[in-house]
A and B are shown apart, each in its own frame.
Chain A
Amino acid sequence: METVHQTPAGKSLAGKPVHTRGIDYKRRGEIFSWVHRGVILLGSLTILFIVLAPVAWLVSSSMQTEAEIVSVPPHWIPDQPTLKNFRAIFSAGDEDVTYETRSTQDPSSGNYIPSTARNLLPAMRNSFVVATLVVILNLLVGVPAAYAMAKIRFLGRTGSVYFILTTRVIPDIALVVPFFLVIKNLGLLDNIMSLVITYLAITVPFTVFILIQYFEGLPDELDKAARVDGCSRFQTLTKVYLPLALPSLVAVILFAFLTSWNEFLLALMFTQTAQSQTLPIVLASFTSDFTISFSFINAAGLLAIVPPVIVAIIFERYIVSGLTAGAVKG
């Protein structure tokens, strides 16, 4: 008896060409896939260029002399790479530059140093301290707040989430005056703590919001399982949720660090001397000096982007592992 699985001998159609009206679909498919790849490559290269060109110019010009920077056409690769702009940064401050002595400097030689140059390194330290404190305090406040709002049912929970979000709707510029009054009354003007406090007001809502989203995505039963297994609420957070929330913690750390590192407006209002000025303020001050030295500014600019880049490199692998964690299955 013949079963459905048996094909009569010689009647199999496997491997026989199918009539295609003369169109080579295989060839057509190959062409399409090459065009597809080409378009994606071209698009990627364009975006890469747009993103990287300013950075490349920053790096390149920081190693050029003042004369070379202003030459037309610009040199993407310096004729004579030099590190004296950087040397100038680290040796700044030996000599006061005043209106009278400014002409002893020669802008075109690259030896010209802004009068506030000596503030650069202290400003970098200020920026770093502020950003680090903001990151740490963000985590200390944001993590328990987000856990509570995501996992504990209490009266007014939804209300508090919306309230926190609402604070982000107000533009920073509208807050400058009230902030200034608060900081002044606290006696914190020209103190880096003024920046830490105000940056927290800006970043914590965002931190809480991001973490709430993430915690809500983690199953409630994990929370119950941990507590039945013997964890207190706090231990549940530290031993179960935090390890799982690593990718979102990294996002939060990066956001808080970069926001604090780059912030300009509030820093401009609250800081007056090198004691509290942050990097963006000091960098900006170079452009309003007696004369402008592009080579020096670019060298300082390059130094300014180094810490964020380092932070990004440190945390990059966690971001990638977070994105792929769900996809890896045995």
Chain B
Amino acid sequence: MARILFENASKRYPNGFVALENLNLEIKDKEFVVLLGPSGCGKSTTLNMIAGLEEVSEGNLFFDDETVNFTPPHHRDVAMVFQSYALYPHKTVYENIAFGLMMRKHPKDDIDRRVRDAAQRLEITHLLDRRPSQLSGGQRQRVALGRAMVRKPAVFLMDEPLSNLDAALRISMRAEIKELHRSMQTTFVYVTHDQAEALTLADRIVVMRNGLVQQIGTPDEIYEHPANTFVASFLGSPPINYLDGELVVQGDKVTFVRGETRLDFAPERGKKLVGQSGRKVKLGIRAEDVDERAEPSSGEVIAGTVTSVLPVGSDQFLGLKVEGEELFFRINKDLRHNYGDKIKLSANTGRLHVFDADTEASLIG
């Protein structure tokens, strides 16, 4: 059982650098929360604070109802998996996995049973006598997971655990981590800069930047309703496209205008923008929110010149020069276009995003 609560928590280093500012976050018991952001955004600092490896400079950190600001790591019931695995090079795999239990003075037979259970689950039983230097990256990753698993901790922390694996292994390990969370029934906090990992694993995602939380929400909320352009840009591949322009409102109809390009918002999107005629905005169009029809209706046409065609197997990325800006779209791979073709795509106007041109905050939330 562990609910984690940050209350106005900040992290300030002696040299004045602020790694984390005024964090308010509640991680519910048994929840899988992913901290997502670019390097230096404070996500690892947040994780280290939960582990007790970094002190909370200001504010409070609670486990359930207990303040743990000053509780040292070995008195918190947490386990952690590191990006570099951090296996003890001088110990065998068995000793590595058993170490945490030994330090907590578990009886020998209990340790042995737990280590062998974990090894069996992770399919590393045949490696128990080896040393970390004799293992492949994927095997080390499993040992690191095993070392955290056997402890049956109240909070399971992971700091970019899959970053050092190759692409194929990363995807299969994602599934295993998700299964681990399901079977362990414990709180998971997972740090990553990989948006795909965040979207697949999380119950809730916390997007961070420069020590500040940008948005907290389910993967769906974050993807469909980004709070600002930073969040919108961070999720999605290829990233979301932006066009600067202004709003024109006529009755219930809200239109985005940039030169020749006029896009009418679908009514449910548009109704929040009524009365904002003339406002300077940034339009966001996700790469996949277009398709190609014989006759696009006016109000959804994006016309431009093809500047690049990048097939990626399942579909293709198309670079399109629209109103002087290069936008990237993901389209059906059967469509044939050549460099320099003038084409028209139709935008899915129910999925357009609008951000304030200055504050970059979403206008439709």
Stretch with Cβ within 8 A of B (4 or more), from A33-41, A139-147, A178-186, A229-237: A229-237
Q: Are A222 and B88 in contact (CB under 8 A)?
A: yes
Interface residues of A in 199-219 (CB under 8 A from B): 219
Which residue, B53, B72, B78, has most C-beta atoms of chain A within 10 A?
Answer: B53
Asked whether A8 is an interface residue with its Cβ less than 8 Å from the other chain, the reply is: no
Q: Are B74 and A240 in contact (CB under 8 A)?
A: no
Cross-interface CB contact of B84 among A221, A228, A235, A243, cutoff 8 Å = A221
Q: How far is the CA of A224 from the CA of B83 in the complex (A)?
A: 12
Q: Are A224 and B51 in contact (CB under 8 A)?
A: yes
Q: How far is the CA of A222 from the CA of B52 in the complex (A)?
A: 15
Known: A224-B48, A224-B51, A243-B90. Is A231-B84 also a contact (CB below 8 A)? no
Known: A155-B14, A222-B88, A240-B88. Is A230-B100 also a contact (CB below 8 A)? yes
Q: Are A224 and B80 in contact (CB under 8 A)?
A: yes
B92 to chain A, nearest CB (A): 12
Asked whether B133 is an interface residue with its Cβ less than 8 Å from the other chain, the reply is: yes
Q: How far is the CA of A235 from the CA of B99 in the complex (A)?
A: 12
Asked whether B89 is an interface residue with its Cβ less than 8 Å from the other chain, the reply is: yes
Q: How far is the CA of A297 from the CA of B151 in the complex (A)?
A: 65
Interface residues of A in 290-330 (CB under 8 A from B): 325, 328-330
Interface residues of B in 110-142 (CB under 8 A from A): 130, 133-135
Q: Are B88 and A228 in contact (CB under 8 A)?
A: no
B273 to chain A, nearest CB (A): 48
Cross-interface CB contact of A224 among B53, B88, B90, B104, cutoff 8 Å = B53
Q: Are A229 and B100 in contact (CB under 8 A)?
A: yes
A residues near B48, Cβ cutoff 8 Å:
224
Interface residues of A in 176-194 (CB under 8 A from B): none
Which residue, B82, B87, B135, B147, has most C-beta atoms of chain A within 10 A?
Answer: B82
Asked whether B73 is an interface residue with its Cβ less than 8 Å from the other chain, the reply is: yes
Interface residues of B in 11-58 (CB under 8 A from A): 13-14, 48, 51-53
Asked whether B171 is an interface residue with its Cβ less than 8 Å from the other chain, the reply is: no
Q: Are B147 and A328 in contact (CB under 8 A)?
A: no
Q: Are A231 and B103 in contact (CB under 8 A)?
A: yes
B88 to chain A, nearest CB (A): 6
Q: Are B74 and A232 in contact (CB under 8 A)?
A: yes
A residues near B130, Cβ cutoff 8 Å:
330
Residues in chain A within 8 A of chain B (CB atoms): 153-155, 219, 221-222, 224-232, 235, 239-240, 243-244, 325, 328-330
Taking A229-B103, A230-B103, A244-B89 as known contacts, 9 extra A-B pairs with beta carbons closer than 8 A to each other, sorted by chain A number, are A153-B13, A224-B51, A224-B53, A224-B86, A228-B157, A229-B74, A230-B104, A235-B103, A330-B130
A-B contact pairs, 16 of them (CB 8 A): A221-B84, A222-B86, A224-B51, A224-B86, A225-B147, A227-B53, A228-B51, A228-B53, A228-B80, A229-B79, A229-B99, A229-B103, A229-B147, A230-B104, A243-B90, A244-B90
Top 6 nearest A-B pairs (CB, nearest first) are A330-B134, A230-B103, A221-B86, A229-B100, A225-B86, A227-B73
